[in-house]
């Protein structure tokens, strides 16, 4: 163990940033605008379910904020990912490249298509997929045929890659786009955690074929439960709207459907909440960035600990703040977690790597040594918007 590491110094530093009394949750929503007004309007008018003016407004406002041509509101981020993969022509038995270090929804959505998750390594710089390592790996295991990229070891087509912007920090999208072009892969952005994050001054969700967002209760803004499909392809956006509303053909009374569809619609009452939250999003992001800077300064002289900062090409929403323990004290991660939680400072490790899960152990994967190292050393800290006030 690195004898310079002193848990009390870490606790003292965090107490300078966090409230001095009471437990501090990892991430809680903040409602300080028109939430009550808009939700009450839904209740008063009876428009609480799957259609209503707030659904249309939320989609328009989200598209305007992110800069995409079309946003389609859905019931949650996992449903959004599922739709993205369907619309990217992911077929049964295809392989889809996903980070080993991600929330399980990324891999689960692949299996909903009866496709196979293929796990890839992360970058120390972004915590997301490492495009350079992925390029080298694909050069070794893949071959390009007339109908796409194939895994020489399994014989399956590799159809898409799903980079996830981990904790709101954007992946290096220029390099990711280059890899997708080289290997003829569909690029599906998992932007579930990155509303309010920008890569080279362009909002996440603009770089791939299609993208998914989440507005769960623990996200930077919330619709309670909710998500969205984002795309710059108008026709693809129309199709996303169609299949998420049971593929029902418009008619005054008839129930005619022209393909397999899904009941993935966001209810109007949830969209009402989202409209109010979007109004406050710019202020929320600035508060979260202010909190991140407070953490950075407080922790810069704590031995054995490094606060993770956004890559230089990005402006992150810092959805969940993170520290990395020095490699020499990685075995003390759970001790740190216990000490912080005992002190009322909610903290957690990152997710277990996907290929350690029993249902994914047989899936193909590259050497994920960086993801494994991050998993051993990372601790998330309280990140609620109100902490940046």
Contact present, 368 and 127 (Cβ < 8 Å): no
- Domains, the chain, ordered by start: 7-27+280-351+378-388 (3.90.1150.10), 35-279 (3.40.640.10)
Kindly report the pTM of this predicted structure: 0.96
For residue 2, the model assigns a pLDDT of 46
* The residue to which tokens 């949750």 are assigned: 25
Give the pLDDT of residue 179: 98
Contacts of 183 (CB under 8 A, 6+ apart): 138, 142, 144, 149, 158
What would the DSSP string read from start to end of 217-279? TTSSS--SS-EEEEES-HHHHHHHHHHTBTTBPP-SS---B-S---B-BPPHHHHHHHHHHHH
| pLDDT value of position 5 | 74
What confidence tier does 20 reach under pLDDT thresholds 50, 70, 90?
confident
Helix (H, G, I), strand (E, B) or coil at 181: helix
For the cut 80, the answer to whether the pLDDT of residue 4 exceeds it is: no
**C-alpha–C-alpha distance, residues 236 and 217, integer Å:** 28
List, for residues 268-321, the tens digit of each pLDDT value. Answer: 999 999 999 999 999 999 999 999 999 999 999 999 999 999 999 999 999 999
Share of residues in the chain with pLDDT > 70 (%): 99
CA distance 143 to 125: 29
Q: How far apart are CA 353 and CA 330, in angstroms?
A: 16
Average pLDDT, the chain: 96
Q: What is the mean pLDDT of residues 235-263?
A: 97
Contacts of 103 (CB under 8 A, 6+ apart): 164, 192, 351
């Amino acid at each position: 163990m690195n004898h310079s590491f002193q848990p009390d110094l870490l606790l003292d530093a965090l107490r300078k940033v966090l409230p001095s009394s009471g437990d501090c949750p990892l991430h809680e929503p903040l409602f300080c605008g028109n939430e009550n007004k808009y939700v009450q309007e839904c209740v008063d008018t009876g428009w609480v379910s799957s259609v209503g003016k707030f659904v249309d407004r939320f989609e328009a406002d989200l598209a305007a904020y992110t800069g995409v041509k079309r946003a389609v509101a859905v019931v949650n981020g996992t449903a959004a990912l599922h739709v993205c993969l369907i619309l990217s022509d992911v077929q049964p038995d295809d392989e889809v490249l996903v980070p080993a270090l991600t929330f399980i929804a990324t891999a689960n959505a692949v299996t909903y298509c009866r496709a196979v998750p293929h796990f890839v390594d992360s970058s120390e710089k972004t915590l997301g997929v490492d495009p350079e390592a992925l390029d080298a790996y694909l050069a070794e295991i893949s071959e390009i045929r007339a109908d796409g990229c194939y895994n020489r070891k399994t014989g399956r087509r590799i159809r898409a890659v799903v980079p996830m912007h981990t904790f709101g920090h954007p992946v290096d999208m220029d390099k990711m786009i280059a890899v997708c072009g080289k290997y003829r892969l569909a690029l599906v952005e998992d932007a579930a955690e990155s509303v309010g994050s920008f890569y080279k001054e362009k909002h996440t969700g603009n770089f791939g074929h299609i993208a998914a967002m989440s507005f769960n209760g623990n996200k930077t803004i919330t619709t309670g439960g909710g998500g969205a499909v984002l795309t710059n392809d108008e026709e693809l956006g129309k199709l996303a709207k169609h299949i998420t509303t049971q593929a029902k053909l418009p008619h005054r009374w008839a129930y005619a459907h022209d393909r397999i569809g899904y009941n993935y619609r966001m209810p109007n009452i949830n969209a009402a909440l989202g409209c109010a939250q979007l109004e406050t999003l710019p202020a929320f992001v600035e508060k979260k960035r202010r909190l991140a800077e407070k953490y950075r300064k407080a922790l810069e002289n704590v031995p054995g600990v490094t606060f993770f900062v956004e890559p230089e090409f990005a402006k992150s929403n810092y959805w969940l703040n993170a520290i990395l323990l020095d490699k020499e004290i990685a075995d003390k991660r759970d001790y740190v977690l216990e000490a912080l939680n005992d002190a009322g400072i909610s903290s957690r490790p990152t997710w277990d790597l996907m290929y350690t899960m029993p249902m994914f152990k047989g899936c193909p994967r590259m050497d994920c040594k960086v993801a494994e190292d991050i998993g051993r050393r990372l601790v998330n800290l309280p990140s609620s918007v109100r902490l940046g006030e």
